[in-house]
Amino acid sequence: MNIKAWAMPFLLSLGGLTGSCGSSATEIQAEAGVTTPMPAAPAAVTPAACRLPVYNISAEKERHPESQRLSDAVVARLAKQNPQLPHVFAEYNHRWNLYALDTVRCQGFLLVPMLYQEYDYYADIYYLTLTPDGRKVLDWAVVAATGGDEGWKATAQMQQDTDGRLRVTATVQDTEGGDSYVPVSRDSVVVAYALTPRGRIVRTLLDSVHKDLPKLTEEEYFKLSASADSAP
């Protein structure tokens, strides 16, 4: 896959948010107006309660069984009520999986991070802020994306900054396209994210680097890859 088809749009459109408190598919279904009403938000919430949490995408992919998948009906209703959501929500189907990682009740809004998986190749972290009743999306962003196929690879690492912001380092290694498996370039961006009191997502670009990789034949590339894989 060429970087222009998937990875570069992600690097150019990075934006995000989140919080930290356990949740489940049942709870997010309630927030989407499908089952029981959700409890009222706490009267007072400290700023620390709505800090953007850090996720390890690889670990999250292994944690969530099929039983925790958000149903087609729940996602369809959320997309219908909020047409500004991306195609992952509007075109949700049996081949895709969305999981609610957390539900955080901030003062005046909800914060819901989600894991999206397509087959075994791609996994993204989305963040949604919603009105307290869970029906209207205030803002959304995809802050991390991973995947790999035919020579290209995307990774994302999340960490908490000392000022409380979420810092994401996203890297994409890409080929020339066609039948080539040999990577020729690496692009990386570092972005910091924070929430406003109204539930909006603020992002700050901290760094952006493009690097051309050494030109290798496929034989040289596969030999180096095999050597790296066998290293202790």
Q: In this predicted structure, what is the pLDDT of residue 219?
A: 60
Residue 224 has pLDDT above 70, yes or no: no
Per-residue confidence at 175, pLDDT binned at 50, 70, 90?
low
pLDDT value of position 205: 92
The contacts of residue 191 (CB under 8 Å, 6+ apart) are 14, 15, 16, 143, 167, 168, 170, 203, 204, 205, 206
Cβ atoms of residues 32 and 77 within 8 Å = yes
pLDDT at 1 over 50: no
Over residues 152-169, mean pLDDT: 88
Residue, of 145 and 148, whose pLDDT is higher: 145
- Looking at residue 222, its pLDDT comes to 57
Question: Can you say whether the dihedral through the CA atoms of 44, 47, 49, 52 is positive or negative?
Answer: positive
pLDDT digits (tens, 9 = 90+) for 65-100: 777 889 999 999 999 999 999 999 999 998 899 999
* pLDDT at res. 41: 38
Q: Are 137 and 128 in contact (CB under 8 A)?
A: yes
pLDDT at 122 (0 to 100):
82
* CA angle (172 as vertex; 168, 174 as ends), nearest 5: 175
Q: Which two tokens stand for residue 3?
A: 């970087």
Higher pLDDT, 22 or 179: 179
Which position has the token pair 């914060």? 111
Average per-residue pLDDT for the chain: 74
pLDDT score recorded for residue 173:
74
Burial of 71 from C-beta contacts in 10 A (0-12 / 13-18 / 19+): middle
CA dist 211 and 7 (Å) reads 15
Q: Using pLDDT thresholds of 50, 70 and 90, give the confidence band for residue 159.
A: very high
What are the pLDDT digits (tens) for 5-54?
Answer: 444 444 444 433 333 333 334 334 444 433 323 333 333 334 445 888 88
Per cent of the chain over pLDDT 70 is 64
